[in-house]
Amino acid sequence: MLDNYFPILVFVLVGLAFGCVPILLGWLIAPNRPDSEKLSAFECGFAPFEDARMKFDVRYYLIAILFILFDLEIAFLFPWAAIFKEIVNTEAVKMFGFVEMFVFIGILVVGYVYAWAKGALDWE
Amino acid sequence: MEFKTILFYLFSAITVVAALRVITARNPVHAALFLVLAFFNVAGLWMLLQAEFLALALIMVYVGAVMVLFLFVVMMLDINIERMRQGFWNNLPLGALVGLLMVGEMAVVLSGRYFGLANLPPQNMPANYSNTKELARLLYTDYAYPFEIASVILLVAIIAAVMLTLRGRKDNKAMHSSDQIAVKAKDRMRLVKMSPEVELPAVAAKEGE
Amino acid sequence: MEAIVLPFVEGLLGPLWPAVKPVWPLVWTLVKIVLILSPLLLSVAYLTFWERKVIGWMQVRIGPNRVGPWGLLQPIADGLKLFFKEVLFPTAADKKLFVLGPVMAIAPALAAWAVIPFSPGWVLANVDAGVLYLLAISSVGVYGIIVAGWASNSKYPFFGAMRASAQMISYEVSMGLGLITVLMVSNSLNLTEIVGAQSKGQFAGWGLGVFSWNWLPLLPMFAVYLISGVAETNRAPFDVVEGESEIVAGHMVEYSGMAFAMFFLAEYANMILISAMTSIFFLGGWLSPFGFLQQIPLVGVAFSNGFHWMAFKMAAILFFFLWIRATFPRYRYDQIMRLGWKVFVPLTLVWILVVGVWMMTPLTIWK
């Protein structure tokens, strides 16, 4: 099984190298004549004012938290979906395997409906 | 030395260095990104243990989701590092205690062979062996009950997250397109029945007599 | 293929072979990676050209036609130009992370190709958890944008990065949930087996494979996946991330030269990746739509299964990407988020239930 993952490791390293090398080459080959105007932050021609890093609407955090929870749900659903056919074809566990997952999804739908009703999914 | 062993030492060395940088980096964003690096290498270590599903789920959930939230937070709440450093000595005893506890637990786990915990020899699985399906067969039969409890925990987390972070804004002038479409003439306009206010001409009044 | 090449290499190297032998798997893997990457990069280059041509025609223009015959050398000229452009590092930027941004954008966009099968057996790493790997690696792509936006220390990149990351994670949910039904009917996480599962069924038996693929029984999921794919790659009409009229170029504002080119490459490589994934999950990958036409002499060969079908399907999906870019006006941000969270998520959950019940009843078409 691990032999299968060796090419992936190599590919990830090649991908990283592919990102770095052209930037390095571009930096070496291309002309480099910086001045203060070129190096200042772009703000449509105005001189930049204030720190660019500012506080953001709390909705973004909320979306990120909801994403974590749904991602976990997906992580739980994946193995189940991968053996669902086996579950269906085994008479003994057929109903159990089906109901079990829909109880799981049902409980999460309660949370989803709650978030919706509270307006957590609204963007104004 | 076998290639796998080299990889193991490489992954663990990077993990340790990255983990150290997480707590020593001055910039919280750098610290969070070092944590991402540490997660990648831990995923590599799990892969070496042939825990395919866990390794990929670690990247999907922790790197793809949890660390994105971490980055959102450290990037956008200007954390005052100087003020955070002030409480260092006061919090040290508690921190040290937690650290000691963790070291103790790790020692128990790592010396598992001595305590008789680890008695499964690592096997080299065939290429078509599906770690995920094997996990699923266990999770959805023997561990169905804890699995359902996990969904309740996720539910609690959703409700807590919404409760804690959701604040309606007062100054918002958003339009709700659904409300706009659903609007009816009745809601906007009131039709009033009135008796005519113009006086009838006097001539007509006379003829009527 | 290795069996053909190996004796040749052995003969070529002669006495040097024992020295090369220990690293041979690495060399062979690298050769295969180059064989995947070079057509991919060529496709990326010509996708940009095709995009400009197609949108030009749709707007009754000619499109690029100056460099080379019919403008065919245009992407090469663009690439060379970018190579000789100055790479700037803004004073206010965090230099290390500023370089890390484009690298984190391009690396996952390329590394994801490791598990994509092009035709039976033609895959670099035939791993069992291929779908999981794709989901994991594509969730890493968001880092390129966040890191770039923050490291630039400038307002437009920061806004763009925030919008992009929230949009990408929202649509990752609907993509992930949409794939659950595909896994349910294929009984596997392996991409080759997912395509294999689509070659079975009543219609496939009659040589009408096109009706046995997942897109028909999972039609809502196909739509969700395709639209989420457009949103995931931040393409029009979901391109508020780089909405020129609002935030200039989003997270890429401060980048120039090759550093910018990396973001550009990553975006188009991701588009091609999404088209490959969609054709594998829903359109039967390399399977022929009209297998019965193989009976026809001479022309029939074109209707056998093979890579050409995969390429054709990918091209069709890519054309769809360009088409909607030329057709639809840009979505508003709150509409994008509403579509992801309030339309797609309920739809996918309902369809999981529908497919679940369908498979439980005797009416199931997935025996």
Chain-chain contact of A120 with B151 (C-beta, under 8 angstroms): no
Share of chain B above pLDDT 90, in %: 17
Count CB neighbours of C91 within 10 A.
13
Measure B130 CA to nearest chain A CA, in Å: 9
Q: How far is A64 from chain B (nearest CA, A)?
A: 5
- Does the distance separating the beta carbons of C137 and B59 come in below 8 Å? yes
- The least confident of B179-188, C48-57, C277-286 is B179-188
CB within 8 Å: C143 and B174: no
A34-56: b or e for each residue (b if 16 or more CB lie within 10 Å)? Answer: eeeeeeebbbeeeeeeeebbeeb
Write the CA distances from B131 to A2, B125, B128, C88, integer angstroms: 12, 9, 9, 47
Q: State residue B170's pLDDT score.
A: 58
Q: Which residue of A has its CA nearest to B146?
A: A104
* pLDDT value at residue C155: 79
Q: What is the dihedral of CA B120, B126, B131, B132, to 10 degrees?
A: -170
- Banded pLDDT at B117 (limits 50, 70, 90): low
pLDDT at res. B16: 93
- Residues of chain A positioned with their CB less than 8 A from the CB of C162: 56, 60
B66 touches chain C (CB under 8 A): no
H-type alpha helices, A30-123: 36-39, 59-82, 84-89, 94-118
Q: Please tell me the predicted confidence (pLDDT) of residue B103.
A: 92
Contact C111, A35 (CB under 8 A): no
CA distance C140 to chain B (A): 6
ipTM score assigned to the predicted complex: 0.86
Query: A77 CB near a chain B CB, below 8 Å?
Result: no
DSSP reduced 3-state for A91: coil
Q: How confident is the model at residue B37 (pLDDT cuts 50, 70, 90)?
A: very high
Looking at mean pLDDT, say which of B203-207, C31-35, C317-321 comes out highest: C317-321
* A-to-B residue pairs, Cβ atoms closer than 8 angstroms: 144
Distance from CA of A89 to the nearest CA of B (A): 14
Residue B13 clears pLDDT 90, i.e. is over it: yes
Say which residue the tokens 């393409």 belong to.
C235
Among chain A residues, the shortest Cα distance to C96 is held by A20
**In Å, how far is A31's CA from the nearest CA of chain B?**
30
Q: Do C136 and B29 touch (CB under 8 A)?
A: no
pLDDT digits (tens, 9 = 90+) for C188-234: 888 888 888 888 877 777 777 788 888 888 899 999 999 999 988 88
What is d(CA C317, CA B184) in angstroms, rounded to the nearest whole number? 42
> In this structure, what token pair is assigned to residue C220?
């809502």
Please report, as a single letter, which amino acid is at residue C114.
Answer: A
**pLDDT 10s digit of each residue in chain A, 124 long?**
677 888 888 899 999 998 888 888 888 887 877 777 777 777 666 666 666 666 677 778 888 888 888 898 898 888 888 888 888 888 888 888 888 888 889 998 998 999 888 877 877 6
Task: Please state, rounded to an integer, the average pLDDT across all residues of chain B.
Answer: 80
- Give the pLDDT of residue B14: 93
**Candidates C94, C139, C189; nearest CB to B63:** C139
Is residue C129 within 8 angstroms of chain B, CB to CB? Answer: yes
Question: Residues of B with CB below 8 A from A85's CB?
Answer: none
> B66: which chain A residues are within 8 Å (Cβ-Cβ)?
68
Interchain proximity C127–B60, CB inside 8 Å: no
Highest-pLDDT range among B44-53, B131-140, C347-356: C347-356
pLDDT of the residue at C271 = 92
Shortest distance, CA B60 to any CA of chain C (angstroms)? 4
Contact yes or no for A48 and C188 at CB 8 A: no
CB contact under 8 A, A64 and C169: yes
pLDDT at C67: 85
**pLDDT at site C223:** 92
Distance of alpha carbon C135 from alpha carbon C157, whole angstroms: 26
* Res C347 pLDDT > 90: yes
Nearest-CA distance from A86 to chain C in Å?
Answer: 8
**A34 or B155, higher pLDDT:** B155
Comparing CA positions, the residue from C255, C251, C256 lying closest to residue C84 is C256
Contact B166 A62 (CB under 8 A): yes
pLDDT of residue A52: 64
Among B53, B63, B71, select the one facing C140 at the smallest CB separation: B63
- Range with the poorest average pLDDT among B153-162, C106-115, C233-242: C233-242
| Contact residues, chain A, for C29 at CB < 8 Å | 6-7, 10-11
Mutate to test the interface with A, among B140, B166, B179 (most CBs of A within 10 A): B140
The pLDDT-based confidence of B140 (bands split at 50, 70, 90) is confident
Q: What is the mean pLDDT of residues C72-94?
A: 85
Contact status, residue C122 vs residue C307, Cβ threshold 8 Å: yes
Helical H segments across B49-195, by residue range = 52-57, 67-76, 81-86, 88-110, 112-115, 131-139, 144-165, 177-182, 185-188
Closest by CA to C338, choosing from A62, A113, B167, A121, is: A121
Q: What is the model's pLDDT at position B79?
A: 61
Kindly list the partner chains of chain C, i.e. chains with 3 or more CB atom pairs below 8 Å: A, B
So what's the pLDDT on residue B120?
57
C-alpha span between B46 and B51 (Å, rounded): 5
Residue B114 in this model has a pLDDT that exceeds 80: no
Measured between CA atoms, the residue of chain C closest to residue B174 is: C334
Neighbors of chain B with 3 or more C-beta pairs under 8 Å: A, C
Would the CB atoms of C97 and B33 count as touching at under 8 Å?
yes
- Pick from A23, A41, A105: CB nearest C259: A23
Best to test chain A binding among C127, C140, C155, C255 (most A CBs inside 10 Å)? C155
pLDDT beyond 70 at B174: no
- Of the candidates C110, C127, C131, which has its C-beta nearest A15's C-beta? C110
pLDDT at B82: 62
- For B67-108, the pLDDT digits (tens) are 988 888 887 766 666 666 667 778 888 889 999 999 998 888
Q: Which residues of chain B are within 8 Å of residue A119 when distances are taken between CB atoms?
A: 166, 168
Interface chains of chain A (3 or more CB pairs under 8 Å): B, C
Q: Which whole number is the average pLDDT over B137-148?
A: 83
Q: Higher-confidence residue: C338 or C9?
A: C338
